[in-house]
Amino acid sequence: MKILSELCKNANISVPRLSKILSTNSSVLYSRIKRLYKRNLIQKSTIIVNEPLLGINVKAVVGINRDPKLKEEIHIALLKIFQIISISEVTGRFDILVTISATTLEELHNVVIKQIGKIEGVQNTETFVEMQRTEKERIFTT
């Protein structure tokens, strides 16, 4: 669990550096990390992009209610929209929540109204624009 917590902070950390932090032999860490991948506890290492430097300044979550008969078709149509970065089927007030990254509020508006809103079977949407975000470090405990 300590290995997972440290790798969540920095997946690019060297094993020798990690061994110093965890007070564990490097060869032991290599084999434990390999086992974490083998057991599929670690599925991939990734990067975090500084989106504002790319001009991506608007994030939003859009709740969608849909016709249940067109579930698959709506999902396929949503996957084709470039600005949608995740799609989740949920319980509660909405059937689907999508996360959108856009460069401007105007682009967000166009995605919601001109693209999502025109998908056959989408009954209504509600948009929640992110005002501020605080990332919390993941810590795994035993």
**Whether the Cβ atoms of residue 122 and residue 70 lie closer than 8 Å to each other:** no
Average pLDDT, the chain: 95
* pLDDT reading at 42 higher than 90: yes
Q: What are phi and psi of 112, to 5 degrees?
A: -70, -45
CA distances from 141 to 6, 10, 30, 35, 87 (A): 12, 17, 20, 18, 29
User: Is the predicted pLDDT of residue 142 greater than 70, yes or no?
Assistant: no
Q: What is the pLDDT of residue 84?
A: 98
Q: Which three-class secondary structure state does DSSP give residue 54?
A: helix
What is the tens place of the pLDDT at every residue in 9-20?
899 999 999 999
Q: What pLDDT is attached to residue 69?
A: 98
Question: What DSSP state is assigned to residue 103?
Answer: S
In which order are the strands placed within the sheet that holds 122-129? Answer: 84-89, 96-102, 58-66, 122-129
Q: How many residues does the chain have?
A: 142
Chain centre distance of CA 46 = 12
Percent pLDDT > 70 in the chain is 99
pLDDT digits (tens, 9 = 90+) for 116-138: 999 999 999 999 999 999 988 88
Structure confidence by residue, pLDDT tens digits, 89-122: 999 999 999 999 999 999 999 999 999 999 999 9
First to last CA, the chain: 6
Share of the chain above pLDDT 90, in %: 88
